[in-house]
Structure 1
């Protein structure tokens, strides 16, 4: 993975803890509405709400450690989040002033001030990244039988505890230097005052195309560089005192976004609509109205930004410059209002009574001015340079339909997420082109085998604002606020394999692979297996066997890609790409490996008939819920079908069990 991909992954993971901010914003915003003067001191309900919200803000560093560890883990398992939390506790405890004083044998009052600031978002992100890497590498490790309880995911929090001891000793040496460098960076930005705020906002917009603006935001909002924009703004007694001390500074990196998101972006939308060719205006009007409303009401700008970001990069650069100017003006004039999610009407309504919000109402006339500026500048630039913004490009070059309807939004299944997700799978190049699926607020973040197979035109006809190719394997599709729903539906579709209607019709079926029985016994139909997941073919299609012999063999030539820690099942990928799961018995994982003996290791290349497992049948028949053993093809959806070749008794390594047809 190259550095850009990795940074994108970190930026995506940061959205997990940042997603908690709207809860804090709502709780504290309502509290300040109730008691804007006493900050909760004059009203019990207000105090209750403000303290509830500040509980989130005050522990953002721990949330970053947990959220980043979870977000960057390979399977989004809770054990990864626990690992991040354990690592954070160990590191911050060992690097606390009291611990440093004791370990380094120095008076407490001589401990560098950096260690009193060890619980910050920078450290949280660092711990989260390390925890995720440890989890991804060691969550599948199997220990000797005597220690088998601590194998796999249980091992990772133990490893991170010991690793954080080493990291703590390293941090004791380098953290003061890192902290001083961050503070110096923050001071340099603060010395630039309102100009620094404008520079930040300019780069905030420029980083949106690659999804790294979240990482930049963490520097200016979460005290990573000595800039305490959100904590000072949102509350807590310490924050209140700090806020009073820096009135007009706290919130300077947020306030100027309100005029852009609530007014400037809608002005751009109006200009794009009016510049569209007459026969396209009806279609463009619907798109622009929806995007402008989303920006005004919620502060989500990506649907509109991506409508011109790549077709008219000159406009996007102008947009970034204007955003920087707006943030500069608000900071210079000390017109302050913060937000917990984004700079839309909802956040403005919540925060206008926050005691640190000063002259917030001036952001409205500033916004009206920027509406006019955006409209005039965008309309002039589009017409002057004949930019191909929405509604203009189709009249210039008749777009190819690639066999699909040109107006997918009119389809009767528009609101069917599963149907829409299936079409997006087609646009990405099909099931076999997708390797991983993820999403943030407005975009699908996909890894593919070949980005060249992605059909941009189809994705846009499905409603996407744009398609970004970061490299040959990383693609982002801007789909709006339904991104999470679409991603989830795509994941389910890929897991289940192509639907029957997606498979080629009237294609001669040719046997691709013939599998041998992996164990001697009696054949049982899959729907008779006493486990719903296997019986309903959720895991895959195939047959089952009730074993009468102790040796389990490879059913085909291939590679053993996985043997479960408890040795009750293994996965084999054949030389032709067929993925086979052999699962000995039902609920046998509960036996913790008793009754099973592994005869080969993961990664072994085997020939059909080679022994893989040895069973203690007497023990298993007496203790397992059932020894009916499914043999299934987990990627059966990639093939035309399976044909059973055996009934009754079968002999391991000799009897043909079923064939797979391509």
Structure 2
């Protein structure tokens, strides 16, 4: 209980809240990416065109397998709002995470049942004209307003706040059974039940606002994808890019389109609907313009070119050490679609160069859209290129991707080499004092490649930590005293960068192995922590 005061301080900042919220999106989005791969492989290999061109695939057992992959690939697409409603309180909860996740499901169910009650009493249910006006849809077996991801996010935030307030709530002795963690789903049911009565009154205004954003993007023409791609990169260092990405992927801001007789909103939702629709002819360029294809010039060409430039600009005696560091970053970028291990190598030493990188990313989105490429999904890596580009046939114009990526490779290499040498930027291997850090980054002694005890000490020790979590590539922490955090020691022991967001919150960029580092540090903390 003594730690309750310092823990509350960081949580009061809006910055901390939004970056934490963005982090919670990763769990359903990761499943979405995998489900998309299953859906892409299954739907493409079971299509009539592929069976005609490759007759050996027209086998009953194989086709049943592909149809099964297509079916289970829809799991994240169909139930995505529910997953967000569960994942958000799960990710935001400090303790009793399982209860928070359960309450998220209960709250989402209560919301829709309450909306159904309102629509029934108001005479909307059973009136086709009114149902269309309200956007009524079958959700969890109940006719309700299709609030989509935004509704699920609202539920998740409310439940997370209720959980933080009530998971230690003490009831009178006669009702003690319902106290503590058990009270969280109870209060969530009541509160979301009331919210469900309000939603039909205010939802049309929310929908109009999101549609307005979508119209703004659509009327921007080719500059819509440019603004999206550039904005996403600029928000990435602060951990807020997930919010923008979710808005475009899953709401009307990413466009609306009728697919297989149903109106679908959100760029990624549209793409998956077209992928699963047997009568759909190709993919909508207006949707894929915001998806994987826009990342491919940078992920498959640009950043590898930047890595080569950094290698050539390193001191000769340091190139052997830098080589492994850069190569691992390139592999993570091309195969995994994870760019931060490379981006954070130059973000802090050359912020202006990162802005150029963001603009070039936006141009990649715009160019792919103008060329009529139609490759969807989320990651922009070589897997997406093969599954959602090559396997879907030449209608996706996948053959243009290597050409554009090659151009981006040359542009990035030239720009980075000029900037590094002209302005003497201290990218990896350019400074003598970085030798120990570079050597350790690639030859660490422990299984993770990092010394958790040293990193913990550099963070001010266990007593200085208020919270410890991670996203895909970085530790996300709250501390009592930021002055105790030693940036130099962190960087000398494998950290690619340290981002101090305010007086209490920071991020330590590690790379793809960050979850192992977090677990190692967690294991060093006292049981009471």
Please report the TM-score for the alignment, with normalisation by the length of structure 1.
Answer: 0.69
Does residue 408 of structure 1 match 2:440?
yes
Does residue 84 of structure 1 match 2:115?
no
Contact persistence 1:466–1:478 (CA under 8 A): yes
1:391–1:131: structure 2 CA closer, same or farther, 3 Å change rule?
same
Deviation per CA, 1:403-455, whole angstroms, max 9, x where unpaired?
A: x98843476624256x7211210221222221211001110001111222222
Contact persistence 2:118–2:197 (CA under 8 A): no
Q: Where does residue 302 of structure 1 map in the other structure?
A: 340
1:373–1:431: structure 2 CA closer, same or farther, 3 Å change rule?
same
Cα distance in 2 for partners of 1:302, 1:416 equals 18
Which of 385, 388, 411 is equivalent to 2:426? 388
1:225-624, aligned counterparts within 5 Å? 225-227=253-255, 228-235=266-273, 244=281, 247-254=284-291, 255-340=293-378, 342-352=379-389, 353-354=391-392, 358-392=396-430, 394-395=431-432, 398=433, 407-409=439-441, 413-415=445-447, 420-496=451-527
Cα distance in 2 for partners of 1:412, 1:91 equals 50
1:212–1:49: structure 2 CA closer, same or farther, 3 Å change rule?
same
Deviation per CA, 1:61-105, whole angstroms, max 9, x where unpaired?
A: 111101111111122521111111111112123335xx4442223
Q: Where does residue 22 of structure 2 map in the other structure?
A: 11
1:263–1:51: structure 2 CA closer, same or farther, 3 Å change rule?
same
Contact persistence 1:339–1:348 (CA under 8 A): no
Cα distance in 2 for partners of 1:346, 1:126 equals 33
Unaligned runs of 5+ in 2: 1-11, 52-57, 138-144, 256-265
Offset of residue 202 of structure 1: 0.1
Deviates more, 1:204-213 or 1:71-80: 71-80
From the CA coordinates, give the structure whose radius of gyration is larger. 1
1:479–1:102: structure 2 CA closer, same or farther, 3 Å change rule?
same
Cα distance in 1 for partners of 2:405, 2:290 equals 16
Cα distance in 1 for partners of 2:25, 2:154 equals 11
Deviation per CA, 1:571-604, whole angstroms, max 9, x where unpaired?
A: xxxxxxxxxxxxxxxxxxxxxxxxxxxxxxxxxx
Which of 183, 188, 194 is equivalent to 2:211? 183
Cα distance in 2 for partners of 1:16, 1:217 equals 14
Does residue 20 of structure 1 match 2:31?
yes
Contact persistence 2:86–2:101 (CA under 8 A): yes
Q: Where does residue 145 of structure 1 map in the other structure?
A: 173
Offset of residue 224 of structure 1: 5.2
Deviation per CA, 1:453-479, whole angstroms, max 9, x where unpaired?
A: 222222122221111000111111111
1:326–1:237: structure 2 CA closer, same or farther, 3 Å change rule?
closer
Cα distance in 2 for partners of 1:87, 1:175 equals 18
Cα distance in 1 for partners of 2:203, 2:21 equals 21
Q: Where does residue 237 of structure 2 map in the other structure?
A: 209
Cα distance in 2 for partners of 1:383, 1:412 equals 30
Contact persistence 2:474–2:511 (CA under 8 A): yes
Deviation per CA, 1:378-408, whole angstroms, max 9, x where unpaired?
A: 111222222222222x24xx57x9xx98843
Does residue 54 of structure 1 match 2:74?
yes
1:91–1:59: structure 2 CA closer, same or farther, 3 Å change rule?
same
Cα distance in 2 for partners of 1:442, 1:458 equals 19
Cα distance in 2 for partners of 1:123, 1:245 equals 30
Offset of residue 22 of structure 1: 3.0
Deviation per CA, 1:503-533, whole angstroms, max 9, x where unpaired?
A: xxxxxxxxxxxxxxxxxxxxxxxxxxxxxxx
Unaligned runs of 5+ in 1: 497-633, 636-662
Deviation per CA, 1:246-280, whole angstroms, max 9, x where unpaired?
A: 72222110211012111110000011111122232
1:357–1:297: structure 2 CA closer, same or farther, 3 Å change rule?
farther
Cα distance in 2 for partners of 1:321, 1:37 equals 40
Deviation per CA, 1:492-511, whole angstroms, max 9, x where unpaired?
A: 21125xxxxxxxxxxxxxxx
1:130–1:239: structure 2 CA closer, same or farther, 3 Å change rule?
farther
Cα distance in 1 for partners of 2:425, 2:443 equals 30
1:45–1:141: structure 2 CA closer, same or farther, 3 Å change rule?
same
Contact persistence 1:232–1:240 (CA under 8 A): no
Q: Where does residue 652 of structure 1 map in the other structure?
A: none
Cα distance in 2 for partners of 1:37, 1:327 equals 31
SS in 2 for 1:207: helix
Cα distance in 2 for partners of 1:416, 1:212 equals 27
1:408–1:164: structure 2 CA closer, same or farther, 3 Å change rule?
same
Which of 247, 250, 253 is equivalent to 1:219? 247
How many residue pairs were aligned?
487
1:408–1:101: structure 2 CA closer, same or farther, 3 Å change rule?
closer
Cα distance in 1 for partners of 2:96, 2:288 equals 34
- Relative to total residues, which structure has the larger helix share, 1 or 2? 2
Q: Where does residue 142 of structure 2 map in the other structure?
A: none
Offset of residue 121 of structure 1: 0.6
Q: Which has the higher contact order (CA 8 A, sep 6+)?
A: 2
Contact persistence 1:252–1:331 (CA under 8 A): yes
RMSD between aligned alpha carbons? 2.6
Which of 35, 60, 65 is equivalent to 2:85? 65
Please report the TM-score for the alignment, with normalisation by the length of structure 2.
Answer: 0.86
